[in-house]
Amino acid sequence: MKEAMISERLTFHHGVHPEEFKDLTAHLPVERMPFVDEYVVPLSQHAGAPSVPLVRAGQRVQRGEMIARAAAFVSVAQHAPATGTVSAIELAEHPNGLLMDAIRIKADPFSSQTMNGRKGLRWQDMDFKTFIESVQAAGLVGLGGAGFPAHVKFSIPEGKTCRYLIANGCECEPFLTADHRIMVEHASELVQGLTILRHFVPAEKVFIGIENNKLDAMEVLGREIRRQNEDFEVVPLKVKYPQGAEKMLIKAVLKREVPTGKLPIDVETLVSNVGTLVALAQYFTASIPLIERVVTVTGTAIRRPANLIIPVGTPVKHVIEWCGGVTNEAVRILLGGPMMGMAQKSLDVPITKGISGVLVLTHNEVRDLTTYKCIRCGRCVEVCPMYLNPSLMGLMARKGMYDEMEQLHVLDCFECASCSFVCPSGIPLVQSFRVAKSMIRERKART
């Protein structure tokens, strides 16, 4: 085990090697995006019940003020990203393509947008229950993309123990460099975040998993860990997609597999994205709730690629405008990474808590939509990190054979899109699995 930790070849099996494109932004320090005049804060930016608004149209709100509370345990609070006036609570376009309830805020053009008089919380004397409630009140969700409420993850169920804590700094999606910059520029807060979390979740061992293409981040973090006298271990991992997926990371670092249908805690492990940990530290040391996040604005068709701190709720059109607009070759805008990101039809959608990138792509990176028949070449079978058979499931999906797909463990698919990426026939495999999964879940919910 010890020797394996030192080796730089730690990884999982299968997976793909897409071109990285990280050079566009990897060297650019994070800059703060100026405030704009309107914000759209969706009530559902997380997995679970949508938050319940605490404000009315016309009401003034302060930056950082709670404007919606958690509706249930699996739900979080929302906060005002800027000082201004609530203009409406209505349906608005959401990055997931649906219309969802959101609080519209008209920013006060004369406000300095500073947050005065905020002190940290005394977390050292806090009990576990208060900790969980504070994390929920901070509106904290996993910033890696899935948007799972952080406090739910941190609440270890009765009878389970957490022996390993892993900070996820893989950032295996091409193009994205937000986590990379966070690790380089907020190393001290990241280590602090891990210290706070370990205070409440007493893990024996703490790891920070980083792909081998971020040597500067490993160095800075190594120094910071020594400076803060911690025993965390920086684990270099092979550059491979989807190394940053929770299950793949656990496999690479601990050589353990999360049983099907179970959670990482079932193998005594807790994984958290580095951005989430920094946000945790910022809340407990300076009382700043999750009102902004680091986003990589990049792609081959954006004029000025950048790593930006963007208030949650900023419409994408303003972000693109701030980055110099798009070039004539732009054909597609994605929120998230190129592998798992969501293509957008409107630029009015806001940046939400789970969005780590705004990608503007040209024709060269966007796949031709022509599909051919499956020739059963098995490339998808050889790349699926979950060892599923996408080829067979793809054929079944076309016939609506969802029960058979469930037997082939389609519910274990976490939609990394490696299969669609390698398919020589251009078959939208992962899209059909997404449909199949929701159909199976719906059918189960009904019975």
Partner 1 sequence: MFQVVFALIPVICAAFYFFGVSAILLCVTASVSCMAAEWLFSTGPERHRSLKDGSALITGLLLALSLPPGFPVWMTCLGGFAAIAIGKFIWGGLGQNIFNPALVGRAFLQAAFPTAITTWTRPGGGLLDARGTNLALPFFQGETLDAVTSATPLARMKFQHEPTALIDLMVGNTGGSLGETCGIIILLAGVYLAVRKIFNWHIPVSILATVVALSSTFYWVDPLRYPSPLHMVFSGGLLLGAVFMATDPVTSPFTIQGCWMFGAGIGVLVVLIRIFGGLPEGVMYAILLMNAATPLINRVTRYRVYGTR
Q: Which helix (H) or strand (E) holds 67?
A: strand 66-69
Nearer to partner 1, 34 or 261 (CB): 261
CB of 264 to partner 1, least distance (A): 11
Binding residues with partner 1: total (CB under 8 A): 26
The CB-of-416 to partner 1 minimum distance in angstroms stands at 12
Q: 73 or 372, CB closer to partner 1? A: 372
How near is the Cβ of 211 to partner 1 at its closest, in Å?
20
What is the three-class DSSP state of 55? coil
C-alpha–C-alpha distance, residues 417 and 415, integer Å: 5
Q: How far is the CB of 254 from partner 1 (least distance, A)?
A: 13
3-state secondary structure 175-201: CCCHHHHHHHHCHHHHHHHHHHHHHHC
Would you give the DSSP letter of residue 411?
G
Which C-beta is closer to partner 1: that of 96 or that of 389?
A: 389
Complex with partner 1: residue 76 or 170, whichever CB lies closer: 170
Cβ neighbours, 10 Å, residue 364: 9
- Beta carbon of residue 384, minimum distance to partner 1 (angstroms, whole number): 8
Residue closer to partner 1 (CB basis): 2 or 373:
373
d(CA 68, CA 271): 27
Interface residue with partner 1, options 213, 409, 439, 440 (CB under 8 A): 409
Rg of the chain over Cα atoms, rounded to whole angstroms, equals 21
Task: Identify residues 191-250 at the interface with partner 1 (CB under 8 A).
Answer: 247
Using CB under 8 A as the criterion, what x/- string covers residues 251-270 for binding partner 1?
A: x-----xxxxxx--------
CB 380 within 8 A of CB 388: no
Q: For residues 4 and 377, which CB has a smaller minimum distance to partner 1 in the complex?
A: 377
- 8 A C-beta contact, residue 111 and residue 16: no
Give the angle subtended at the CA of 284 by the CAs of 281 and 289, to the nearest 5°.
85
**CB of 361 or CB of 423, closer to partner 1:** 423
Q: How far is the CB of 247 from partner 1 (least distance, A)?
A: 7
Applying CB under 8 A, among 133, 233, 412, 415 the residue interacting with partner 1 is: 412
| Residue 295 in tokens | 């986003």
**Contact call for residues 440 and 410 (beta carbons, < 8 A):** yes
Task: Provide the token pair at 47.
Answer: 């997995």
What residues form DSSP beta bridges with 272?
Answer: 167
Cβ 242 to partner 1 shortest distance, Å: 12
Contact 86, 18 (CB under 8 A): no
Residues 366 to 405 in contact with partner 1, rule: CB under 8 A = 370, 372-378, 381-382, 385-389, 391
Binding residues (CB under 8 A) for partner 1: these are 247, 251, 257-262, 370, 372-378, 381-382, 385-389, 391, 409, 412
